[in-house]
Chains A and B, each alone.
Chain A
């Protein structure tokens, strides 16, 4: 049983999605129950995998390997595409996070009333491809899931979104598709440059991550050989491919200046989809960048470390300033997402154990906190259909439970020690300061981002929640406190945020060794 656990993570939601799609009309209301049950199951599986993962071992665990497509390329050789799944210390936190966020998303989706069958079908397809992204160890398979995420997301935003949903959905899909096209170029190039052990004396080209990561497998003299000096437009081709990856995953993460799709998508998406988008979808960009960008192009990544860190710092500062200027609470949080994801790039660019661990921790913690933040917006939007900050004042007196959750989420995001956000940002900055590849300026400026995040979050908190209770007259009678469902959702996420804030070893025990192995394989 345990040898197919990871496959279950992909196929359980996929199967459930198909079942939901085929449900007859009178059973349609049960689609949400099915989605919640399946999401609970996948969370349990990912928890089990997390528990039984042995951090002391190097390499991937829970491996599954099956041949899939063998394409005959004639006299060139054979393209061998395999179905390989596995997790290591880098992907495992993301799998766990996916479990948490997707369950939160499924539960908060219950407020969707329009065409629930189609909604949950798309939601489950999305879940399946998100898991697939984090656990596949074949570039082709990874790319398949990476691209397949676009379609359900397009419809989830485009059908159930706000007023400008069509525009936001189209913008989302075009931006991310451009990004994935860049990644496709790299995939093609890498697949044709790496040899697997030959079959019947014929060359075999492979997309296996384990082989792609090893520099000695590159066909000597090929364009991607480490010592190759072939250039295009006066740049070495390897460098160009790395830049393509940087942009491709940068769009997904998102990194300023490729971030403009994100505020639109977030503002238009329904609450639960915003949760999934911010909570886990963005992390695919960060995960892909470390696994593929840094893992397979280590020398280029180190050369570009100041650029990566610079983009990260730019996102931190630019996102924060934008957030300060917003009056729409959801937009504010969307920009705060851009700002916080900048720490991920800063941490990664440090190329030391602290930095990369910090980056991964930051992804995990941002996943939980941003899910909370978007749920917080959802609460108020469900009641009044209005998210403008200036319409509300002194909510604390009227909605104490809600205010409690908001305080955990806001303080967690601005990096209060004791809540998970602090650990991620602290270690990313620490890595930045101790990295030999980065100037001390990068982390120094990034610290400003924390101060700025305090500005916009505390200011919003003060304006909306403190003082004398007042809401815009039209919205007056709808300000009830959290329902039971909302309280459970928000407070369990809040509990997780605090748990990972006071006990970081829960995650570091798993990531630390994985990062060490990773650094060793890229030669540091």
Chain B
């Protein structure tokens, strides 16, 4: 009994970052309950949230990886999860700053939801047990649904309901898969399942089915096909900084969870994963081609990007997961930048339609050029780190193929890269309209404010700097 208690106490002491996040949420709730609803209080709430995120990042930055699982093997604090948690908190801080520079006056509940997502993602990233995985994944989902539906406009409610229904379905499938896994192995912890499956003689087919079902949860978080249907509607309806967050943070969780799940179920996943990748890239890319609304386009492009991010997991080599992690890090900067750019554009044109952006960069030359960097990065052209990211994940594919992998890997390689060339058509619609089209009748009277340009420039510098020095991130990935 006493031993258990001390185990829990030492375990708790390792999770300073999460405790800080939780404390921040409590403070927020306290202020909201006793404070007033005006923009002065909202600013206070914003500052508390940012402070919490930064503090939590600092605490996680200092923590060391531990090989032993904590809390009776519910969570595992390895270097992988530390890296991913840092990424989540960077994204959180970026989005909070985005909210401020765009002068959104959000109510306190939004910040609770944002920190809540960060908090549950931290646990999701450490999960080493089916139960903790499920609880963490569900709390990420719940916070996300609320974030989408919170401002009670019909559009948001519709998107929220869509998100909820597809999310609930995905969760149910995942739960079913987990129970099959439990049935086959008699174990709930990842380590236990792995050992039991390795020693027992299980039906490969059943295991394969269980794996596919379990993957549906994280695939939904990644917005990867076939769990992508919610993405465009939710992207279009949700306020820009919030969708920027939902496009980034849950993807981090989904990616690393898939990596862990593939690690415990030792069946050949090449075909399943390759199928998901090809389907995501295909659906995302070709649907994005026809969009006229930039946010919907970003929704479909997010589906395709998920496909590219997953490419690194093929073969489950450490090189691959490092490549995917690098892609994910770059994706944080590119997506946060792209959404910030769209938000600034919307401030001037009151629209996300491509045609309304016509001639924008003839007034804001610098803004146009910085914005161009994100689109070049998302396409994956040098000299941006988007290129390095694609380069690294496809390096992994060739590596797998050359070491006697499936022939399907070559298809992934060729098909994926050709899709890069297709994607330039829709990513370049933004610079196309901004640079090439003559401006509309009405002039843009306002200027882009300095904080906006500074944040945008910082993100762009990140996207470019990581091309010239990818080792900055590569060497910090576990």
Which residues of A are at the interface with B, using a C-beta cutoff of 8 A? 21, 69-76, 79, 118, 143-144, 147-148, 150-151, 154-155, 158-159, 165-166, 169-170, 173-174, 177-178, 181-182, 184-185, 188-189, 191-193, 222-223, 232, 237
Contacts and interface: CB of A to CB of B under 8 A. Distances in A.
Contacts of A169: 436
A74 B421 contact: no
Contact of A222 (B392, B402, B435): B402
B401 A181 contact: no
A6 B22 CA distance: 57
Contact of B318 (A75, A166, A185, A192): A75
7 contacts: A74-B319, A151-B381, A173-B428, A185-B394, A191-B395, A223-B402, A237-B410
Interface in B405-429: 407, 410, 413-414, 417-418, 420-422, 424-425, 428
B382 A148 contact: yes
Contacts of A173: 424, 428
B417 A181 contact: yes
A192 B437 CA distance: 43
A40 B382 CA distance: 28
Given A174-B425, A192-B398, A232-B410, A159 B435 contact: yes
A311 B105 CA distance: 63
B71 interface: no
Q: State the majority secondary structure of interface residues on A.
A: helix
B471 interface: yes
Contacts of B418: 178, 181
A285 to B, nearest CB: 17
Contacts of B319: 73-76
A79 B326 CA distance: 15
B228 interface: no
B383 interface: yes
Contacts of B421: 174, 177-178, 181
B322 A174 contact: no
A223 B404 CA distance: 9
Contacts, number: 99
B199 interface: no
A1 to B, nearest CB: 25
Nearest to A191: B395
Given A72-B475, A148-B382, A174 B424 contact: yes
B202 interface: no
B474 interface: yes
Interface string B430-445: 0010011100000000
B58 interface: no
B435 A71 contact: no
A165 B376 CA distance: 20
Contacts of A76: 317, 319, 399
A192 B420 contact: no
A184 B388 CA distance: 12
What 8 A-B pairs have minimum CB-CB distances, sorted nearest first? Answer: A177-B421, A74-B318, A178-B421, A158-B436, A181-B417, A144-B382, A223-B402, A74-B319
A71 B470 contact: yes
A185 B417 contact: yes
Interface residues of B, number: 41
A184 B395 CA distance: 10
A253 B173 CA distance: 52
A188 B391 contact: yes
Interface in B136-161: none
Interface string B309-330: 0000000011100100000000
Contacts of A237: 410
A185 B401 CA distance: 13
B365 interface: yes
Contacts of A223: 401-402
Given A72-B475, A75-B318, A170-B425, A159 B402 contact: no
Given A72-B471, A72-B474, A158 B432 contact: yes
B469 interface: yes
Contacts of A144: 382-383
Contacts of A158: 432, 435-436
Contact of A188 (B322, B394, B469, B475): B394
B471 A71 contact: yes
B383 A148 contact: yes
A174 B285 CA distance: 14
B295 to A, nearest CB: 22
Given A71-B392, A189-B398, A147 B318 contact: no
A169 B437 CA distance: 12
B382 A147 contact: yes
Contacts of A177: 381, 420-421, 424
A185 B424 contact: no
Contacts of B392: 71
Nearest to A221: B402
A336 B475 CA distance: 52
B401 A118 contact: no
Contacts of B402: 189, 192-193, 222-223
A77 B435 CA distance: 43
B420 A181 contact: yes
A154 B381 CA distance: 13
Contacts of B475: 72
A153 B383 CA distance: 15
Nearest to B417: A181
A151 B376 CA distance: 9
B432 A170 contact: yes
Contacts of B417: 181-182, 184-185
Contacts of B425: 170, 174
A222 B319 CA distance: 18
B428 A232 contact: no
B244 to A, nearest CB: 25
A178 B322 CA distance: 27
A166 B471 contact: no
Given A147-B381, A181-B421, A170 B399 contact: no
Contacts of B382: 143-144, 147-148
Contacts of A185: 394, 413-414, 417
B209 to A, nearest CB: 30
B308 to A, nearest CB: 13
A188 B421 CA distance: 17
Interface in B368-395: 369, 376, 381-383, 387, 391-392, 394-395
